[in-house]
């Protein structure tokens, strides 16, 4: 008799739990959708805090100190969310959203860049090429070519690199670098800023905290996600850890001394040179520093992202895409690694550009196609792309492990 009574009660409990989880997930989805609706027109270096049903607070980031969102409230049917749009060190003429940060649930970030330390990016200057030159994605000893500059071409420049040997070129929303001696030198260029790894801009350095309490439903977990432009990598210091972000990542504080980082698109490079590819997660073990900040002692080896981490990235990407769609900007997609694929070479492509497109290893592509000279590939060549989707690298997976 008791069993006969307990079974219906068990079923009722399951039904109630499922209903509660469904209601919780609906609240989270409404909050993320409200980000696109209520943050429309958000300017560079501004933030927009959304707390459903309707409550928006927009402010400049330059003087913002603490930004926080609230966890799931079953009574008021609320789940806090906030969107931050950073100019970072991007040109004023740069098209698109720039750097976006999303907070959700019981999460907060503390801005560690003083307002009077922020280095502004000024209006670009017009100059002319004095010789044919290559345009590169980044300045450096082994830069990646992205285009050509012809003698007498007019270009806009807005910044130097740290050694003043390169100038940043901005044109039609595209960003590249050219050797400084390839363009006409103007006296006004002396006032252009130097783009360095530690150049301060709002939220370039911040600490974050996310609650470790079990949420009402999986989608109500606390969230901090950052999306950077695909063509302009961004350097950030998070909880005292210097990282180089090239696309979209999310963070969670596992406990006071550990920071979890998941790469959903692109890749992250740590200050120690460790590369965390797309679709993988790593743990930064932190230790208090003398000034009260946190510094990384070590990063764990990266492992494939869990289903929960993958789902977190999907939620964040969906919110970013809603915001981008409302402004007419391009949307991004998170996908699982696709394994070995074949690619038919098109005119103008190189092994390097193909590896970037498929988020694969240059060295592994060369090794997998021994009958083709990688320096002389032609339109119509068919290449095997091993391990597509695991993350772009100039070295093989075996060499980097």
Q: Rounded to an integer, what distance in angstroms lies between the CA atom of residue 374 and that of residue 334?
A: 29
pLDDT tens by residue, the chain, 401 residues: 554 554 444 444 444 456 778 889 999 999 999 888 889 889 888 888 887 544 455 567 888 888 999 999 988 889 999 999 998 888 887 878 889 999 999 999 999 888 888 877 888 999 999 999 999 988 876 667 888 999 999 999 999 988 889 999 987 667 889 999 999 999 999 999 888 766 788 888 898 889 878 888 888 999 999 999 877 778 888 887 788 888 899 998 877 678 889 999 988 888 777 888 888 899 887 765 555 555 556 778 888 788 788 889 999 999 999 999 999 998 888 876 567 877 778 777 788 888 877 778 889 999 999 988 888 888 888 888 888 877 778 765 454 44
Q: Tell me whether residue 185 is in a domain.
A: yes
The answer on 106 and 167 residing in a single domain is no
For the chain, the maximum distance between any two Cα atoms, rounded to a whole number of angstroms, is: 94
pTM of the model: 0.74
**Torsion region of 98: left, alpha or beta (phi above 0 gives left; psi -120 to 50 gives alpha):** left
The answer on 14 and 112 residing in a single domain is yes
Residues spanned by the domain of 142: 125-192
The answer on 154 and 257 residing in a single domain is no
CB–CB of 149/133 below 8 Å? yes
For the chain, how many structural domains are there in total? 3
Cα 35-36-38 angle, rounded to 5 deg: 65
Residue where a domain terminates, one of 192, 219, 245: 192
The answer on 289 and 218 residing in a single domain is yes
The dihedrals phi and psi of 368, each to the nearest 5 degrees, come to -80, -10
Q: Tell me whether residue 274 is in a domain.
A: yes
Instruction: Tell me the CA distances in angstroms from 352 to 104, 169, 181, 305, one per residue in order.
Output: 37, 22, 26, 26
Residues 6+ apart with CB under 8 A from 65: 110, 111
Q: Tell me whether residue 272 is in a domain.
A: yes
Indicate the helix (H) or strand (E) that contains 82: strand 81-86
The dihedrals phi and psi of 310, each to the nearest 5 degrees, come to -65, -45
Instruction: Tell me the CA distances in angstroms from 231 to 99, 132, 253, 369, one per residue in order.
Output: 12, 23, 28, 28
Residues 6+ apart with CB under 8 A from 316: 102, 104, 223, 225, 227, 248, 250, 264
Q: Rounded to an integer, what distance in angstroms lies between the CA atom of residue 350 and that of residue 144?
A: 11
Q: Among 322, 344, 383, 386, which Cα is nearest to 40's?
A: 322
Kindly report, residue by residue over 341-372, the tens digit of the pLDDT: 777 787 777 888 888 777 788 899 999 999 88
The dihedrals phi and psi of 70, each to the nearest 5 degrees, come to -105, 155
The answer on 169 and 76 residing in a single domain is no
The answer on 309 and 173 residing in a single domain is no
Q: Tell me whether residue 264 is in a domain.
A: yes
The answer on 14 and 91 residing in a single domain is yes
The answer on 294 and 159 residing in a single domain is no
What Rg, from alpha-carbon coordinates, does the chain have?
23
Q: Tell me whether residue 334 is in a domain.
A: no
The answer on 110 and 50 residing in a single domain is yes
Strands 205-210 and 154-161: unpaired
């Amino acid at each position: 008799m008791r069993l006969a009574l307990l079974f219906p009660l068990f079923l009722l409990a399951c039904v109630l739990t499922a209903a509660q989880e469904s209601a919780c997930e609906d609240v989270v989805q409404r909050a993320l959708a409200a980000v696109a609706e209520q943050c429309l027109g958000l300017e560079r270096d501004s933030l927009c805090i959304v707390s459903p049903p309707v409550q928006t607070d927009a402010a400049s980031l330059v003087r913002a100190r603490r930004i926080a969102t609230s966890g799931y409230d079953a009574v008021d049917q609320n789940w806090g969310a906030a969107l931050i749009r950073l100019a970072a060190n991007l040109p004023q003429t740069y098209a698109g959203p720039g750097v976006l940060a999303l907070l959700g649930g019981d999460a907060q970030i503390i801005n560690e860049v003083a307002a009077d330390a922020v280095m502004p990016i000024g209006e670009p200057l017009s100059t002319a090429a004095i010789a044919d030159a290559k345009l590169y994605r980044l300045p450096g000893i082994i830069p990646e070519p992205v285009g050509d500059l012809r003698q007498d071409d007019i270009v806009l420049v807005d910044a130097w690199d740290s050694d003043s040997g390169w100038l940043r070129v901005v044109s039609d929303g595209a960003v590249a670098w050219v050797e400084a001696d390839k363009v006409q030198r103007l006296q006004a260029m002396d006032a252009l800023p130097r783009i360095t790894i530690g150049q301060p801009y709002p939220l370039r350095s911040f600490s974050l905290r996310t609650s470790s309490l079990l949420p009402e439903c999986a989608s109500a977990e606390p969230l901090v996600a950052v999306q950077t432009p695909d063509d302009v990598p961004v350097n950030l210091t998070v909880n005292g850890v210097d990282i180089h972000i090239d696309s979209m990542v999310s963070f969670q504080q596992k406990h006071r001394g550990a920071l979890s980082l998941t790469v959903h698109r692109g890749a992250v490079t740590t200050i120690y040179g460790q590369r965390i590819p797309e679709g993988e997660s790593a743990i930064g073990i932190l230790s208090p520093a003398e000034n009260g900040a946190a510094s990384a002692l070590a990063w764990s080896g990266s492992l494939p992202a869990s289903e929960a981490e993958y789902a977190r990235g999907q939620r964040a990407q969906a919110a970013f895409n809603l915001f981008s769609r409302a402004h007419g900007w391009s949307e991004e997609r998170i996908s699982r690694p696709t394994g070995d694929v074949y690619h038919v070479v098109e005119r103008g492509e190189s092994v390097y550009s193909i590896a970037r497109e498929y988020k694969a290893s240059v060295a592994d592509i060369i090794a997998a196609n021994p009958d083709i000279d990688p320096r002389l590939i032609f339109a119509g060549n068919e290449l095997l792309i091993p391990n597509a989707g695991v993350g772009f690298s100039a070295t093989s997976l075996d060499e980097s492990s």
